[in-house]
Amino acid sequence: MKEKDTQIRQTNSFQNKLSNQLDLDHELIQLSEIIPWAVFEETFGVYYSEMRGRPRKSIRLMVSLLILQHIHDLSDEKIVKAWRENPYFQYFSGYDEIQWSLPVDSSSLVKFRKK
């Protein structure tokens, strides 16, 4: 089952968009614009069933966490915590509003890599 696209979610009137606050010349924002995210969705989407189990996290989120983890040489636990604290990480992952909760449990990254 597909997760709602993070760009389509209803916006919060009291929350400013990250795209209006961040430096659009930042390397992560530039990188997020050249990565073909749809290719990841098509490639990895075949491993998920829309009929069984709970809805999955977005493939863009999972792939972006793995990319950020590799770039910054962080453990699964540390990348998940760093993601919550860094708005550039969140924007890179497809979110345009600040997220206050952890995106996934760190064990989800292990499961995603195994798929």
User: Distance between CA atoms of 2 and 81, rounded to whole angstroms?
Assistant: 24
Residue-level length of the chain: 115
User: Distance between CA atoms of 39 and 58, rounded to whole angstroms?
Assistant: 13
Mean pLDDT, range 8-20, rounded to an integer: 69
Answer whether 0.75 is exceeded by the pTM. Answer: yes
Please indicate, yes or no, if residue 15 is contained in any of the structural domains.
Answer: no
Please indicate, yes or no, if residue 64 is contained in any of the structural domains.
Answer: yes
Q: Report the chain's mean pLDDT, rounded to a whole number.
A: 87
Mean pLDDT, range 49-61, rounded to an integer: 80
Number of structural domains in the chain: 1
Please indicate, yes or no, if residue 12 is contained in any of the structural domains.
Answer: no
Q: Domain range holding 76? A: 20-48+55-114
- The predicted pLDDT at position 10 comes to 55
Please indicate, yes or no, if residue 13 is contained in any of the structural domains.
Answer: no
Phi, psi of 102 (to 5 degrees): -65, 140
* Digit-coded pLDDT (tens) for 21-43: 999 999 999 999 999 999 999 99
- The predicted pLDDT at position 50 comes to 73
User: Which of 14-23, 45-54, 58-67 has the weakest average pLDDT?
Assistant: 45-54
Whether 99 contacts 109, CB under 8 Å: no
* Digit-coded pLDDT (tens) for 80-110: 999 999 999 999 999 999 999 999 999 999 9
C-beta atoms surrounding 112 within 10 Å: 19
Please indicate, yes or no, if residue 34 is contained in any of the structural domains.
Answer: yes
Please indicate, yes or no, if residue 6 is contained in any of the structural domains.
Answer: no
Please indicate, yes or no, if residue 3 is contained in any of the structural domains.
Answer: no
Please indicate, yes or no, if residue 59 is contained in any of the structural domains.
Answer: yes
Whether 56 contacts 44, CB under 8 Å: no
H or E segment to which residue 18 belongs: helix 18-21
